Structure 1
């Protein structure tokens, strides 16, 4: 088996021999997405205040795997003191109606001790862990000070993947010292590599996604090779936003798992494009949003809805679009759901078609590479916190369809939905999660 050595960068003939899944890891991973919330939201009354309870609820719903930001750079690469990490919301009411950002209470954690506790909890409940990092996308924006973010951006973009690899290797050594490394399903150097600060310095970022995937490949290949050198028996990969069908050739040859996030969007994309939610606040089309009837009457001017100057670094540390934050904070959630329902029929056939094609493409590439396939996030997309479209009658059926398709293409791992986690309202729909997880783990496709 090739461990630390790279084949020549031009060699895409399949000569790399992937590291297989470790003994004891399930043959189907039913994944719930705990992301960075498992440490950010541990304050009083928060969903992860009691990790043991959250793990028990996950098992009750049929999950056997959690996927997390393990904060590898902070804990093992930054050089910062992590014995008392202060975490809180971005600032005031800003982003409090945005999924993943609605932190209710501040918290202080001993980072390494908290990681160890999580793994001990997972062992007690029979859960496995996918290690990942959101650090170059948003994790550090929840810190009380900018030290974490400053340390992240101080690393040359050309070296960031390798630094993450070294940090993860040290993190795995730490877990091994405590006899907990058997809980690791596999490691991802980073989440959605083409969307975030791993792409800094590339002229294609946010302009041409396919070119970004291509231009990132040398950085990621070096990072994966460094990880293999340090942890030759641990499977490692990177993962991609959506399924980059126009540039699958540029996924590094030395991955051990293919991980993609099939966010289909469809009807939701109509909202994003119509209201320019990935653009600038200065160009926010207020009149069009008001005409659509989805903005609350008390919403302020979009350009005024920003963090104060002393917290401006947080706006840079998170990549979530500022117009999207504004709309989600001030949306009439019921009207937003109604807007989607009224338009869904015009997108339904295309959404089903894209889902099937994307999963077929991903499965074909995984087979050609000889690596397992996992869907760590996905389905419809980033809806407002109090919107119910994805857990409603249309969205829940789309979840069922996506899980059936995941089983059909032979995926190793999949999710019920990105919103099926303790920090989202969908967690309350226990029956749907049990149904979908059983469907996948028992390979039921009809």
Structure 2
């Protein structure tokens, strides 16, 4: 499978001129670039577990201009969406274009933050933590029944109960090993209801040292190998995710931000529940919104040589460990996201000469290790600037298929 990450954007950006205004056209462009699979948040709990009216869903960003230069969060207010009808249209268009769909959920990470009201968020939080994997399993199983009734269940490549489970609202600090029992309960529940459909969960990075914590009943080994490296140094030095440390405002002005950028405390979303419904910290969105993309990229290029070998070695280790785990279990291996990390919408490090070489190397290694599926990188999708590089995506997808 050559996978394009459509995440939740296939339903948050459907207005005129938006990348998913015409799902048929989106699939046509995907096939043109060499993709045969898309991976989505199918909003399963919202559609099939919450009991909410989903016939006219409305989506918007985090409020005003907040998040509008941040990747995935640059969501304009759009037209109403009939959730179930839109899901069926996605499946119909996938089948028409000979593509498959990886059905997943981001609902305990950020999908509900795009709603115009907090009903979805409240419905998710109302499920007791101990019951969440089973609730997701039941919702996914109902989704399969729904598309099967339309003769479209053969489009499903496999189901993931949830995205990046160790960094989601499915846990309370247990870690990968501590999560195993809960993940296994959810997978068992789904198998009871849909024994013919492969099911799994996926993990951010590759949890080397905790592989024993992966569910023993998963049907697909799915990992997201974001190596970060030099990008991790930037995140650490500017404390973008460590809110226990002071944000280095003066240094950010000098090294990363655009002229005229406000201070951190002056750039906030309108007071609402939305900040609670996303895992991305306020200071990370602020820095992405107000960075000068050239400054950001230069910061990374200036320091990349110090990380180059470590990043390559980390990638090699992670991919090899992931492949070994899949082989030991006798299940397929998929890299559903990757490779460098989370960069601002208009920054170009991952799309530039260094980043694309990292993508190319990772895809070749995935191919050589026998992976069933992989991404070019997480930014290769209709809602990211990298989508315009048709030749790169076509070349790397063709290379992945060599000798398959």
TM range (shorter): over 0.9
Q: 1:307 aligns with which of 255, 262, 269?
A: 269
The alpha carbon displacement at 1:362 in A equals: 0.3
Match of 1:232 among 184, 195, 199: 195
1:348 and 2:308 matched: yes
In structure 2, distance between residues paired with 1:282 and 1:398: 31
The within-5 A match list for 1:33-432 is: 33-199=5-171, 202=172, 204=173, 211-280=174-243, 283-291=246-254, 293-309=255-271, 311=272, 313-432=273-392
Distance (Å, rounded) in 2 between the aligned partners of 1:407 and 1:387: 28
Aligned-residue CA RMSD (Å):
1.1
Question: Which ranges in structure 1 are unaligned for 5 or more consecutive residues?
Answer: 1-28, 205-210
CA distance in 2, matches of 1:304, 1:258: 43
Once the two structures are TM-superposed, the CA of residue 279 in structure 1 deviates from its matched residue by 2.1
Contact 1:279/1:323 (8 A) holds in 2: no
CA drift of 1:214 comes to 1.3
Q: Which residue of 1 aligns with 2:3?
A: 31
Provide, for residues 298-344 of structure 1, a one-character-per-residue CA deviation record: whole Å limited to 9, x for no partner: 121212322222x2x11111001221101000101111111111111
Note closer, same or farther for the CA distance 1:109–1:218 as it changes in structure 2 (3 Å cut).
same
Supply the distance in 1 between the matched residues of 2:403 and 2:140 (Cα, whole angstroms). Answer: 32
Residue 281 of structure 1, CA deviation: 8.7
Paired residue for 1:433?
393
Q: Which runs of 4+ in 1 moved over 4 A?
A: none
Q: Which deviations, in whole Å up to 9, do the C-alpha atoms of 1:409-432 show, x marking residues without a partner?
A: 111000000000000000000000
**SS of residue in 2 equivalent to 1:151:** helix
Cα separation, 1, equivalents of 2:245 and 2:354: 34
3-state DSSP class of the match of 1:240? strand
Q: Which secondary structure state, in structure 1, belongs to the residue aligned with residue 120 of structure 2? A: helix
The total of aligned residue pairs comes to 404
State how far apart, in whole Å, the 2-side matches of 1:177 and 1:97 are: 40
Secondary structure, in 3 states, of the residue corresponding to 1:246? coil
Q: CA separation in 2, counterparts of 1:376 and 1:244?
A: 15
Partner of 1:22: none
Kept in 1, the 8 Å contact 2:239–2:245? The answer is: no
